[in-house]
Amino acid sequence: MEIQFLGTGAGQPSKSRNVSSLALKLLDEINEVWLFDCGEGTQNRILETSIRPRKVSKIFITHLHGDHIFGLPGFLSSRAFQANEEQTDLEIYGPVGIKSFVLTSLRVSGSRLPYQIHFHEFDEGSLGKIMETDKFTVYAEALDHTIFCVGYRIMQKDLEGTLDADKLKAAGVPFGPLFGQVKNGQDVTLEDGTKIIAADYISAPRPGKVITILGDTRKTNASVRLAVNADVLVHESTYGKGDEKIARKHGHSTNMQAAEVAREAGAKRLLLNHISARFLSKDVSQLRKDAATIFEKVHVVKDLEEVEI
């Protein structure tokens, strides 16, 4: 499981940072890629990665500001051109209005897709659990921006325990069908009458990962709730230390506020994203150093960077 950042800039693209988009790569888990936001130029960034557009099965939109959605029509159209691959449907989750934006863009441009888009729109009254499969659950909660905006909490369900093959072999179980039965939780009896209790050879279920991906927001309690005990918290850092007043005015957070959220939530790692173009390389280093005085395990991400979870 990895996160790859396709655009880490705030508001408008710069020479070093494109606008908002990131990919949650779940290839080992479910052979899918989930996209979070799709700012202008996202498909160009994807060309510089190993991501295959057809593997993108779900797109989650945090809010309808242009730097988070203007790349959608282009990406959806280009996704249709993978003629040598099977056409697969796609799901889009986002605030009310995302369906109208996408369909209007496709209609006006005369674009026809050979696959279906299934829209899941929500407003402030229909948040909470927005998606569940046999392996993942996704929750959304309203943040505090200048327009309706959400954060997402992606929870991987607990993983099955692993079989201690060496211990099983030492107990006299021959490798073969009996191994498979024990792995499946079935007790077995050996030829000499020895009873093998499967639970004694299988570790306890392992907790799944928790990933929190926030949209644009002022510091808010909702951010903390979404990030409780998260393995990774992706939080915007449009502004830096001392910029609290202007951050609040424009509906954003500083690096210090993001660090406070991570500390209060008990998150394991904080990834600072959505960086203003006014921060140059030396400034970005300072963003991390300042935030680290509040939350040590912090990192400022850059475009195309891949982070293993």
Q: Which residues are annotated as a binding site for Zn(2+)?
A: 63, 65, 67-68, 145, 216, 274
| Cβ proximity of 71 and 49 under 8 Å | no
Estimate to the nearest angstrom the gap between the alpha carbon of 281 and the chain centroid: 25
| Of 129, 43, 45, the residue nearest 79 (C-alpha) | 43
- CA 300 – CA 4 distance, rounded (Å): 13
- CA 77 – CA 248 distance, rounded (Å): 37
Number of CB atoms found within 10 A of residue 18's CB: 24
| Cβ proximity of 155 and 230 under 8 Å | no
Number of CB atoms found within 10 A of residue 224's CB: 19
Burial of 178 (0-12, 13-18, 19+ CB in 10 A): middle
| Of 9, 1, 2, the residue nearest 300 (C-alpha) | 9
- CA 80 – CA 286 distance, rounded (Å): 42
Cite the DSSP H helix spans in the chain. Answer: 27-30, 42-46, 66-69, 72-79, 98-108, 165-170, 177-183, 221-227, 244-250, 255-265, 281-292
Annotated binding-site ranges:
63, 65, 67-68, 145, 216, 274
Half-sphere CA count of 287, side-chain side, radius 13 A: 29
The structure tokens listed for 209 are 């990962």
Residue 195's identity, in one-letter code, is: K
Residues with active-site annotation? 67
Q: Nearest 5 degrees, angle CA 49-CA 215-CA 283?
A: 70
